[in-house]
Structure 1
Amino acid sequence: MSTEELPLSYAQQRLWFLDQLKPNSAFYNTTITWHLEGRLDQAVLKRSLQEVIQRHEILRTNFIAVDGKASQIIHEEINWTISVTDLTNLSSTEQEVAAKQLVQQKALQPFDLANELLIRATLVVLSENEHIFSICMHHIVNDGWSTGVFIQELATLYNAYLQGLPSPLTPLTIQYADFALWQREWLQGEVRQRQLNYWQKQLADAPDLLSLPTDRPRASMQTVAGANHRFVLSEQLTLQLVKLSQEQGVTLFMTLLAVFDTLLYRYTGQEDILVGTPIANRNQSQLEQLIGFFVNTLVMRTSLEGDPTFSELLIQVRKIATEAYTHQDLPFEMLVEALQPERDLSYTPLFQVMFALDDNSLHSMELTGLKVNPIPIEWETAKFDLSLSMENTARGLI
């Protein structure tokens, strides 16, 4: 174990604080699951997983309190292995039920940030040529981009080891702890104030709440109970949206955000719309290959005052998004602390609606000799009043 106690990044510190307030919660667990069809080499899979964990210090990190302050401790050696459950003696119907229960149980099992590795892998054996494979990590060591890095490195290692080859991965020059140190040293003084000045001006006099019409009164304290609804925009409609974006000189994200803003305006009647959106927050090329909690949240504020045309709205969204990207380094936690919005336990501060456009290609996994298909997990939780998460796939926007 490293004897050095290292600081957390600002985003990590917020999650650590939330964990102290409400321990034994699985709310910030992130899980991805696949169905594997074909001949799987379990020993090679285990070796590949262990190599990824050894390669990224953040996956060997625990978070402890030292004199009331959060610190991260990096372990040099770990005692970790994949959990394997054999269901070959069950019927196919029983297997389906048991596998789903097991994956959900692992996904909803809280992590102990101070005392256990914050990644767990589960392999369910259905037959010699059929498996369910699931990875669960705590958000404090992971984000969406990191999941993509993890998957690609795991696949690269598995495919190499299967052929008896050494790891083809280039050694990492920095680790997440270096980013956390750099962030705290860099985001000071004039740099921090310049970022803060923009956001204070941009969000001045913003409404506290976007009042979506609901089928029941808002609870006095926000709950995390929620539901999911999946839908697909056709390939033809998706291509039309891409073409419109190109013609208007905007990204697909900007077009979809403008559409979403319009929809929110139609449902609420409010002309001042605030929507949160995640951003990878990896401005330096060295950070792109790291696993860790880098993602930041930006607040996109759009005005529909004066009944603008959609083209006019797109111009506004492009300007707002471009400026937000320029000022993306200020951690959302720091922004909330500086703005001190009116706090109400029944809704989240600054915004209550989230929009994300994900890169579906990041989470595809190709393993030699295996047909790999992701299995969506239906969460019954929600961090915000409404979240719209879209992926651009070959079938269209999902």
Structure 2
Amino acid sequence: MHEAICRQAERTPDAVALRGGGRDRSYRDLLDEAAALAGRLRAEGVGPGSVVALCTERSPEMVVAVLGVLLAGAAYLPLDPSHPRARLDLMLTTADAALALTDEEGRVALGTGGAPAVPVRPLAGADLPALPVDWRGYRAPEEVVDGLSYVIFTSGSTGAPKGVQMTHLSLANRLSWMQEEYRIGPGDVVLQKTPYTFDVSVWELLWAFLAGATLVTAEAQAHRDPQEMAAVIAREAVTTVHFVPSMLALFVEEPGVAACAALRRVICSGEALPPKLVNKLTATLTTVRVDNLYGPTEAAIDVTAWPCRRPEPDPTVPIGRPITNVVAYVLDDDGALAPLGVPGELVVGGDCLARGYAGRPDLTAERFGTVHVAGRPQRVYRTGDLAWWSPQGYLNYGGRIDTQVKIRGQRVELGEIESVLNSHPLVTNSVVLLRDDLGAAPTLVAYVVTERHADAGDVSEAALRAFLAEQLPDHMVPLRHVVLPELPATANGKVDRRALPAPPARVRRPVRVGSPSA
């Protein structure tokens, strides 16, 4: 893809490629900066087969760094500076990163509590030795074409995150399909708002540059604020944007949505999409096209797509049909093709699959396997999702088979949270649930059984949250904790999750006017 971006820059060198941080970068500027960074990386021995970590907040410099790593022939590994140091070190080691590029927040994150796990270099602005890299006429070496484009970590049920190793072939197929389907070009503006540790960010980062369009970077934490999202979409005349459905639900309630007159494409993925959101948005912005996409991180961002109808009439929005060069099968419990309308596990294959998980051949063998369809073997990924085919030939989503859930659009294995909780010296067992009966949004609740001698203060809700926050990102830390004498069990001895009680309501003390607490 970075070779194709170089070709586009040669065609439109003076067009605005990247806007953010108070300045516009032309395609020429963008590729000059990326090539300079690639030269610095080459001088440090980075090349085909290398992995370079990025630990930074969202910024135009982050976008330049992604292109620079790719031009150096390496794969990029995005890291969130807000994550605990132990988790960042684990990712660096598992992915076998050669070095890390950081801004100030990233440098502090990787250096807190001791020396960084890998050499740390500044993201931009350093006058360091470099080997020449010319983006004009650039052709990717064969070992790069056959190699990795990025490594993105997802939550793991064993207590350790999993590093998905994505190939250039799968990424190229995904972005080529996207351009064929949506046809953006000069005059289009794509908003980069998804955290770059989430695979949706990959198309946000690269797609615009393949088509001569402009990429606008939102401020570092702006994606959490629907009012700010409406403002930047209107101000920058954004034509193309992605929303996780839970954020779309907040966005459509903003008064500023009506001012987003340039918006033409809204891509949704990450969670089940309610039809009422589609219908409310398209009633407000009558020229907007909404598409519902589906795909696991292990299969190049998205593997199926559904162009939403106006209005979208069904109780749930389908996830659609496989994209170009991708196949999807629904298998029953015996591994045979399930009949139409019968739910089964969704497995996907074709030019979309990751190479596997970094440093985990056992897990790769477990999740990536072979199926025989029409007598032919085919490599596939077992998604762990339930789906069924409609008679009209499109897929419907039926939820998770296991305990994997989506929180703020990010995939989380509840087993990882439980594993960390169980490592607490005073916790003997735990179960984590995502409950949707406690308020407006689904809430993570942890149920813990503690040592009998445990002091209440040591296993209080605040204490357990603080313990988890040292090892897990914020979205994986349960908001509520319930201490139980034992976990309820079914007749066969398994934990009876349905019998776990709702956490008690929090008592709010009345505040007297004029009192010190008022």
TM over 0.5: no
TM-score (norm 2): 0.27
Q: For the pair shown, which has the larger CA radius of gyration, 1 or 2?
A: 2
Q: Which has the higher strand share?
A: 2
Tell which has more relative contact order, 1 or 2 (C-alpha 8 A, sep 6+).
1
Q: Which has the higher helix share?
A: 1
